Structure 1
Amino acid sequence: MVMTSGFFRLLSDLPKPVWRYPISYISYGAWAIQGSYKNDLLGLEFGPLLPGNPKLTGEYVITHMLGIELSHSKWWDLAALFLLLLGYRILFFVVLKFKERASPLYRKLAAKRTIQQLEKRPSFRKMPSVTTSRRHQPLHSLSSQEGLDSPLHT
């Protein structure tokens, strides 16, 4: 957004098809910088660049040096800035609500996909449980394992 606002490059220097027309109009930075230039420079006079030349007006600096059109006032820039910020806030709220409602569906689909992928692996297939090791035998009391008689285990 800052790149297309006219802060680093003038708007007239940006390529028109993509960066200047759609992107610079939705950039709140472009409206803010244009409005602040109009607020600060309109009505001022500057000394000439070369001695003997006429003084530079703020209007000349804005239109010729900064490439900003004076077709609308600084108040329109301020109104556009507030509308864009309000629009971005509403858009962010809508995206959060959509994510909140779509998240369980996405997780359900992701879980089904993961289970399907795990079932294809041979290491995760269900094998018949054959217990050949002593580790998986049913547990007995210690007294019966040592051959001792226990009054609880008679």
Structure 2
Amino acid sequence: MSLIPGVIAYYLSGLHRGLERFMYFSFVLFACVMWVESLMMVVSSVFSNPNMGITICGGIVGVMILTAGFYRLPNDLPKPFWKYPMYFVSFHKYAFQGLFKNEFLGLTLARDQGGDRGTYLGDKEILRNIWQVEMGHNKWVDLAIMFGIIVFYRVMFLAITKIKEKIKA
């Protein structure tokens, strides 16, 4: 489900070559699809009206994307609600940070602005200072967190359906 679109998107956009980087990209795409499906399962188990469920799920996904640290960098998010807890709960935070680590680690870019010719930006400098990525763990930990969130949503779906079953009985 994510392999063929991953091949098309990955190589046409000119991302890093290499099997490990491509497989990580495909795993993140797969995890994102699984997350949306898991979220829809949870929301549809709470709301019986399909239109209401789709609307609520779209709103949740929108909030998760907005607080993931891409549209607004993590240090620029307002603290009380949007950074704590929404930024840390956002599934896309881990997807973005893992993909940034996947693409920028091992990369060196030349600075061509303001007379800085001959100097270079290192990978960690790009990730820390420009994208404000948390560098305390590697990209595989981000992927493991994503799959942990998916498992949590699936367990939540199971719990909600079992509770609804007991209430009806």
Q: Tell me, in whole angstroms, the C-alpha distance in 2 between the residues paired with 1:15 and 1:83.
A: 26
**1:51 Cα offset (Å):** 5.3
- Normalized per residue, the structure richer in helix is 2
Higher RCO (Cα < 8 Å, 6 or more apart): 2
1:56 paired residue among 121, 126, 131: 121
Q: Tell me, in whole angstroms, the C-alpha distance in 2 between the residues paired with 1:58 and 1:87.
A: 33
Q: Tell me, in whole angstroms, the C-alpha distance in 1 between the residues paired with 2:66 and 2:102.
A: 22
Task: Give ranges in structure 2 of 5+ residues lacking alignment.
Answer: 1-63
Partner of 2:149: 84
Identity %: 38
1:35 paired residue among 98, 119, 128: 98
Q: Which consecutive segments of 4 or more residues in structure 1 shift more than 4 A?
A: none
Normalised by the length of structure 1, the TM-score is 0.61
Normalised by the length of structure 2, the TM-score is 0.56
Instruction: Give the residue type in structure 1 aligned to 2:105.
Output: L
- CA RMSD in angstroms comes to 1.7
Q: Tell me, in whole angstroms, the C-alpha distance in 2 between the residues paired with 1:7 and 1:23.
A: 14
Is the Cα–Cα contact under 8 Å of residues 7 and 33 in structure 1 kept in the other structure?
A: yes
Q: Deviations over 1:63-103 (max 9, x none)?
A: 1111112111111111111111111111122112222333x
Larger radius of gyration: 1
Instruction: Give the residue type in structure 2 aligned to 1:37.
Output: F
How many residue pairs get aligned? The number is: 104
